[in-house]
Amino acid sequence: MPVAPNLFERFVMLQLNRAPGPVLDLVGAGGERAVGLALDLGLFEALATGPATLDDVASQLDCEPAGLEPLCDFLTALGYLTRDGNRYATTPMTERWLLATDGVGPWLTFWHEVVFPFWEANMTTAVRTGAPEQTLYEWLDDHPERWQLAHEGFRAAAAVLAPTVVEKVSLPSHARVLDVGGGHGLYAATLADRHTDALVTVFDTEPARAVALETARDAGVVDRFSFIAGDYTTDELGEGYDTALLFNVVHAHDGPENVALFERVRDALVPGGRLYVLDQFDGTGRTTLARATVGFVGLTYLVTLGHRAHDVDDVVAWLAEAGFEVTDRESFLTAPGVSLLVATPAK
């Protein structure tokens, strides 16, 4: 958990400016690396069955106790572990968000092992020139063994929001749903689980197939779930779909590319079909955390893709140019800066 200064520390550091507030960022950066290492070592899993001594945990992880102890103590200070004498245990936060099957552990692992190393290699170039030398997706294509880690990370991030999002998606009876760029398939599988007469199709590149089908099997919807491998910017999407999803896709494309994609999706829908667009949009943050999150995401998109978080009004305009009318917009408490746009073909 990010270090949370007490009231006095906040007053001195953040209001009086008498102590260096940037130290919080330094500790936070160290925290990310400590958690990433703990996940890689299996430290939290070693404590999943209950408290254990430092020597027992070190033996399980093939570590020297003298080396493991500082890591455990730092994680204790951050709120991931507790310590009682020589025994460590996980906290409720760790159990809920790092050990649970629907936690964000794989998402943090993806950042630790792929995204932040990519940042370090490309951030200066991206800031100076406006784009990295190659996108993260291109890098993953050059390192295909990392794609599964990426899709597992994307799935873990989506698990936080998917149950809430699908409640906002209205489907007709016996709906055919097209999830464009749906990758891991969690949104499509969650929809199929909620609507037992719906047929869902994920359209994405081949590296996503294994994770998507695993998602469908875990959800018990594999008989109503299909995966089509292809490039959604050029390959046929099909037709006759009642509903289409574009979740966390538009940020990877500029305005003209998104207009063209929206037009392709419109052609795949039946008359009166609905398009749902989910993403983190610039200008939607209403709280300090939401504004910081959108800013962080915007910088991430620059470094990894050469793009920015789009302004929500721009996306609405691109939808209109492609023949859609936005009929509703939703935001989510559990995902600062994320909005869901609901659109139908204009009459």
Domain ranges of the chain: 7-99, 105-345
User: Cβ atoms within 10 A of the Cβ of 139, count?
Assistant: 18
The Cα–Cα gap between 318 and 262 comes to 8
Give the tens place of pLDDT for each residue, 134-166: 999 999 999 999 999 999 999 999 998 999 999
Fold identical between 7-99 and 105-345? Answer: no
pLDDT for 175 equals 97
pLDDT for 1 equals 58
The Cα–Cα gap between 326 and 134 comes to 34
Residues 6+ apart with CB under 8 A from 162: 186, 187, 190
DSSP 8-class letter at 283: T
Taking the CA atoms of 97, 210, 219 and 240 in sequence, report the sign of the dihedral they define: positive
CATH class of this structure's domain 7-99 = mainly alpha
- The list of the chain residues with pLDDT below 50 reads none
pLDDT for 294 equals 82
pLDDT for 2 equals 67
Q: Which two tokens stand for residue 293?
A: 């999150």
| pTM of structure | 0.90
DSSP 8-class letter at 88: E
105-345 folds as Rossmann fold (3.40.50)
The Cα–Cα gap between 89 and 112 comes to 23
Give the tens place of pLDDT for each residue, 230-278: 999 999 999 999 999 999 999 999 999 999 999 999 999 999 999 999 9
pLDDT for 285 equals 62
